[in-house]
Structure 1
Amino acid sequence: MHIAYLTPEYPHARINNGGGMGTSIENLVKALVKNNQQVSVFVYGSRRSEVFTDGGITFHLIAQKNYKVGGFYFYRKHIEQYINNNAQNIDILEAPDWTGITAFMRLKLPLVIRFHGSDTYFCHIEKRKQKLKNKWFEMLAVRKAMAYIAPTYFAGEKSMELFKLPKEKLKVIHYGLELENFNNNHPEEFEKYRVLNIGTLIRKKGVFQLIETFNKLVEIEPKSTLVFIGADSVDIHTGSDSTWELMQNKMTDKAALSITYLGKIPYELVQEQIKKAHVCVFPSLAETLGMVTIESMALQKAVVNTNIGWAQDLIEHGVNGFMHHPDDIDAYVASIKELFEDLNLTIKLGQAGRVKTEDKFDIQKIVYQNLELYKSISSL
């Protein structure tokens, strides 16, 4: 097959954007190429227009265009024209739900939408009021698809419900990892009492709950340290330009001395930080899956994770990690403290986490689930 992807991000040196969605696409795309499939990636919102091939993948960078009026419509039509002009021999196109990028498009290709996390979904989860135009764009976009893919049952079923789509068109296929790239030969070696959180500093990631947790934790275990990795962001609730500044205001004086913010670091360096951690903590309030959770599990790290909806696909509480509601601060403190005090438990949960990723999140297995769906759609 020749499979194409439309995306605003992809983790490549010649592309300016990369995040969790881009990483999940990259993992799938590389696995497809290994299985002798042809792949094209259309990256919209790029700084320049360019076509190049790398690793058997053809990349089309579609430069962002500015319009005096109606940019939301005319740029989508520009993307549509570009894809249709380059659609020769492409069998199927996959696009994200986020922002409803395929709204107003009349594509010559069968379209599959993957629920990476729409504004509609996140506004519902976070109980935020959604702008009507955002809901309209996303509603128009998803209704053009022939099938839908979700990384977890919760994200899929909730998205289908919100968009009033027939559930029989939904297929749940987890994000996958190239597990050969996630090796930790010495899981027993780490910095004791080091807590790690990875992700954009944004309210929905539970960063304020984690500060509150650490304020209590450092009182119980003064050797505790906390490291944040990820880009800073605007806080939509307060209008602040920096969530990190707001987080600092929530820290006790004692906690502040033991908290480090590394900012956004190169992807290849993140693994080293994961390996150094005693515990990885992700008290997220809104995700579709949470790539950093399964990446940490693949590296045999003990994880204390959120327990909301989507997380039920990732962890069995007490078996391969711990799960609590982000607002249950005392439960987070208790689980982290238990792991600090019981190194055997830390290693045991890490080993079980690796087993879970090998069973459920191995991209070499997951790629066939995607191919099966693509073939069924392209044959219609």
Structure 2
Amino acid sequence: MHISFLTPEYPHSLSGPSGGLGTSIKNLAETLVNKNVEVSVVIYGQSQAAEFDENGIHFYFLKNQRYAIGGWYFHRRYIQKFLNQIIKQKDIDLIEATDWIGITAFIKLNCPLVIRLNGSDAYFCKLEGRPQKFKNRLFEKIALKKADSLVSVSRFTAEKTSSVFGINRKYEIIPNSIELRSFSVSNRNEKTNSILYFGTIIRKKGVLELAYIFNEVIKHKPEAELIMVGKDVKDVREHESTIELFKRILSSEALKRFSYQGAVAYEKITEYIEKASVVVLPSLAEALPMTWLEAMAMEKALVTSNIGWAKEVMVNGETGYMVNPIKHLEYADRIIQLIEDPELRSVFGKNARQKVLEEFNADVVANRNIVFYKSVLKLSGN
């Protein structure tokens, strides 16, 4: 079986920036290769074209194309032509694409197409309460209706997507996964009173709420320290740096106990997780966040949001605490409780890693995907 992934991002030194979407594809692709499944990864929108093999995966970097008019159409035709070439040349059985901006709308492939719901633009616009471009919504709906099969990383995402687009289709639910060997357990470098946020610095991740929350933490625990790691992006509402908006919310006392480390290489993030006493991930809009799985795998006590997808990852009071991020005082109280109770942190951390081991580890999830891919091929007659 030969599976090809079509994606706008992938964590590789030669490609552009990548977030949780790229990481989830990487984890699945590498585990499938270990299970003797042939894998190709096609990454579009890149600065340079490239083709090479690495870690048993065939990589194709598609250079971003510019068109005077009709770019949305001609770009897709360009991708279609390339995909159908490698389908024929490499005997690709199935292509999996993302739901983001409906990249496969108007693309006709010579093999079955699966779309994995990691959160479309329409999905996130709905969760964030902001308007969406008509073109993006149209393309996403067309792509979802045309796909041979759909799979979602969480039930919440599947149900919300169905509601947003008014599409009544069957979805397979298979979560994102994590390679546990890359996130080993070690608390020997844990720093007392250290609070960590890692991930994109963006409103939808709840970082502006975190500023208010940290102000409350500092009032009651002035020795606490907040460290933030991740790429800063321009805020969709204020059109300026999100980290600057964050700092303006902080009290003078909180600002003194705050440190922003910027974006770091993916392989370095474990060093920051290892040092944290508590990891805070107050997301307001997700599909199934990789950051949560990574922190859980390292046996860290978490305080996360309690919205939608959260109950499919966390168990409140067992793997950590789940609190609505707009409840600043309650969220701060949970952080302080964990900082002051190392025994509770240890219990939560062990429970968290066990849940990842049972439900989200790469080997288990890859097996589920293989069964799903085979069922798609059987239905298509391949």
TM-score, length of structure 1 as denominator length: 0.97
Q: 1: CA distance between counterparts of 2:296 and 2:245?
A: 30
Partner residue in 2 for 1:359 = 358
Identify which of 101, 105, 108 aligns with 1:106.
108
Shift, 1:160, TM fit: 2.1
Partner residue in 1 for 2:322 = 323
Q: Does 1:131 align with 2:133?
A: yes
Q: 2: CA distance between counterparts of 1:292 and 1:200?
A: 10
Shift, 1:187, TM fit: 2.9
Summarize the alignment of residues 206-221 of structure 1 with structure 2, pairs less than 5 Å apart. 206-221=206-221
* Matched-pair identity in %: 40
1:153 partner amino acid: R
Q: In the alignment, is the contact (CA less than 8 A) between 2:301 and 2:348 conserved in 1?
A: yes
Q: 1: CA distance between counterparts of 2:164 and 2:86?
A: 33
Partner residue in 1 for 2:182 = 181
Q: 2: CA distance between counterparts of 1:49 and 1:339?
A: 48
Q: In the alignment, is the contact (CA less than 8 A) between 2:187 and 2:275 conserved in 1?
A: no
Q: 1: CA distance between counterparts of 2:13 and 2:254?
A: 36
Q: In the alignment, is the contact (CA less than 8 A) between 2:7 and 2:22 conserved in 1?
A: yes
Shift, 1:49, TM fit: 1.2
Shift, 1:29, TM fit: 0.3
Shift, 1:164, TM fit: 2.6
Q: In the alignment, is the contact (CA less than 8 A) between 1:8 and 1:17 conserved in 2?
A: no
Identify which of 151, 154, 157 aligns with 2:153.
151
Task: Please give the secondary structure, in 2, of the residue aligned with 1:312.
Answer: helix
Q: 1: CA distance between counterparts of 2:15 and 2:98?
A: 18
Partner residue in 2 for 1:250 = 249
Q: In the alignment, is the contact (CA less than 8 A) between 2:195 and 2:225 conserved in 1?
A: yes
Shift, 1:294, TM fit: 0.9
Q: Does 1:50 align with 2:56?
A: no
Partner residue in 2 for 1:15 = 15
Shift, 1:189, TM fit: 4.6
Partner residue in 2 for 1:121 = 123
Residue ranges of structure 2 left out of the alignment (5+ in a row):
none
Task: Please give the secondary structure, in 1, of the residue aligned with 2:53.
Answer: strand
Q: 2: CA distance between counterparts of 1:314 and 1:193?
A: 25
Q: Does 1:373 align with 2:375?
A: no
Q: 2: CA distance between counterparts of 1:96 and 1:248?
A: 34
Could you report, residue by residue, the CA deviation over 1:132-185 in whole angstroms, capped at 9, with x for unpaired residues? 111011111111111111111101111122223334x2011011111122111x
Q: In the alignment, is the contact (CA less than 8 A) between 1:150 and 1:170 conserved in 2?
A: yes
Q: 2: CA distance between counterparts of 1:340 and 1:278?
A: 6
Could you report, residue by residue, the CA deviation over 1:301-359 in whole angstroms, capped at 9, with x for unpaired residues? 00000000101111110011100111011111110111111110011101111111001
Q: 2: CA distance between counterparts of 1:194 and 1:12?
A: 30
Runs of 4+ in 1 over 4 A off after TM superposition: none
Q: 2: CA distance between counterparts of 1:319 and 1:246?
A: 33
Partner residue in 2 for 1:2 = 2
Q: 2: CA distance between counterparts of 1:160 and 1:138?
A: 12
Task: Please give the secondary structure, in 2, of the residue aligned with 1:67.
Answer: coil
TM-score, length of structure 2 as denominator length: 0.97
Summarize the alignment of residues 312-351 of structure 1 with structure 2, pairs less than 5 Å apart. 312-351=311-350
Partner residue in 1 for 2:66 = 66
Partner residue in 2 for 1:289 = 288
Q: In the alignment, is the contact (CA less than 8 A) between 1:187 and 1:347 conserved in 2?
A: no
CA RMSD of aligned residues (A): 1.0
Summarize the alignment of residues 264-283 of structure 1 with structure 2, pairs less than 5 Å apart. 264-283=263-282
Task: Please give the secondary structure, in 1, of the residue aligned with 2:41.
Answer: strand
Partner residue in 2 for 1:75 = 75
Shift, 1:219, TM fit: 1.3
Q: 2: CA distance between counterparts of 1:309 and 1:78?
A: 37
